[in-house]
Amino acid sequence: MACETHLTRVWLILVSNEVERVVTKNNAAPLLEIKHLKTHFFTEDGVVRAVDGVDLQVFPGEVVGLVGESGCGKSVTSLSIMQLISAPGKIVAGEITFEGQNLLELSEKEMMKIRGDRISMIFQQPQTSLNPVFQAGDQVAEVFRIHQKLQDEEAWEQAVELFRMVGIPAPERRAKSYPHEMSGGMAQRVMIAMALALRPNLLVADEPTTALDVTIQAQIIQLIQDLRKEVGAAVILITHDLGVVAEMAERVAVMYAGQIVEMTDVISLFDKTFHPYTQGLIGSIPVLGKVKERLEVIPGSVPNLVDLPPGCRFAPRCRARMEYGLDLCTKVEPQLIEYQPGHQVRCWLYQDTEEYKAPLKDRG
């Protein structure tokens, strides 16, 4: 698997997993429901609207991918769920309902009980996420000491058991290693062990494979997949790697400048993309066997979140807007609408109003 390149991997996996990926029409209540979440940072330069009205549902046991460029608000969304936003950031509006509780209404103390136990998180940089002065096993044991009030020895045994579970060779000895003696892949295994120690219902994985090299990436993804099934956790997978999304996610939300611009199941995401931004993202992946002089690019860069363009946030970079000569894009902000069953998109190409007729309303 390691030697295959990116996009072939994407497609192969999509096809091979299709049987497995029964897109369960969940009648059950969502495990996590984010409504109109707005997290802003009040800086000297002005208010940075890092997350600006995000709606997201995660059902028990499913993997939701959250995709977007750097600085589009993916990580801030995940930190908002964990309530780990520190000053000058603040959740200014919205609701985050987890297992029927609105997390935003909980006290810090109640939230502490949930973190690491019911919801846990894997970070991007495994090696800096481990405390350099403690043995790796001790840090995993900490989870048991905090939440289950286990004694040192018992917690240590549990930790070693977890080391074995995440496939670390010689777990008894490796538990005694310090983080600087571990490779990135091994450190990430330790982080995964920590995150899944108490069998959480929701795992937030913030770019779990970004800092690792490609062969290790595949192993880590496989590990997360396996353990996820075993533990039965839902996963919010934050990444900018569409290959990882194709491999793991069932549904995908594409974020741009603090908002979700498209949301659908993973097959339609690659199959019939609606939003011009998503089209650009997928178009910019190199395809094995296709000779191209240059890869497609999305012109421009992510707008300054302090000074967002009026109307659609993607409008200044949007090819489709030029192509169809749409004026509305730069004036009025489109809404996230359910364009097709289970496929939401935020774009004036698909959304009608009373006096405006969307050019692509009836296509697709």
By CB under 8 A, residue 114 contacts another protein = yes
Nearer to another protein, 1 or 29 (CB): 1
In the complex, what is the shortest distance from the CB of residue 269 to another protein, in angstroms, rounded to a whole number?
A: 28
Closer CB to another protein, 138 or 262, in the complex: 138
Using CB under 8 A as the binding criterion, the count of chain residues that bind another protein stands at: 37
3-state secondary structure the chain: CCCCCHHHHHHHHHHHHCCCCCCCCCCCCCCEEEEEEEEEEEECCEEEEEEEEEEEEECCCCEEEEECCCCCCHHHHHHHHHCCCCCCEEEEEEEEEECCEEHHHCCHHHHHHHECCCEEEECCCCCCCCCCCCCHHHHHHHHHHHHHCCCHHHHHHHHHHHHHHCCCCCHHHHCCCCHHHCCHHHHHHHHHHHHHCCCCCEEEEECCCCCCCHHHHHHHHHHHHHHHHHHCCEEEEEECCHHHHHHHCCEEEEEECCEEEEEEEHHHHHHCCCCHHHHHHHHCCCCCCCCCCCCCCCCCCCCCCCCCCCCCCCHHHCHHHHHHCCCHHHCCCCCCEEEECCEEECCCCCCCCCCCCCCCCCCC
Residue of 132, 289, 299, 325 that binds another protein (CB under 8 A): 132
- Based on the shown chain and the rule CB under 8 A, indicate whether residue 224 belongs to the binding site for another protein: no
State the minimum distance, in angstroms, from the CB of residue 326 to another protein.
42
Nearest approach, Cβ of 19 to another protein (angstroms)?
A: 23
Q: What's the closest the beta carbon of residue 93 comes to another protein, in angstroms?
A: 23
- Cβ–Cβ under 8 Å, residues 32 and 202: yes
Toward another protein, which CB reaches closer, 221 or 318?
221
Q: How far is the CB of 84 from another protein (least distance, A)?
A: 6
> Which of positions 35-94 make contact with another protein (CB under 8 A)?
82, 84
Residues 230 to 289 in contact with another protein, rule: CB under 8 A: none
- Comparing CB distances to another protein, the nearer of 238 and 242 is 238
Among residues 205, 291, 274, which one has the least CA distance to residue 241?
Answer: 205
Residue 229 binds another protein (CB under 8 A): no
Q: Considering beta carbons, is residue 170 or 306 the nearer one to another protein?
A: 170
Distance in Å, CB of 344 to another protein, minimum: 29
Sign of the torsion formed by the C-alpha atoms of 176, 195, 212 and 223: positive
130 binds another protein (CB under 8 A): yes
Binding status of residue 361 toward another protein by CB under 8 A: no
Minimum distance from CB of 309 to another protein (Å)?
Answer: 32
| Site mask for another protein (CB under 8 A), range 133-172, x = bound | xxx------xx--xx-------------------x-xx--
Q: Is 177 in the site for another protein (CB under 8 A)?
A: yes
The residues binding another protein (CB under 8 A) are 82, 84, 109, 112-117, 120-121, 123, 125, 128-135, 142-143, 146-147, 167, 169-170, 173-174, 176-178, 180-181, 191, 194
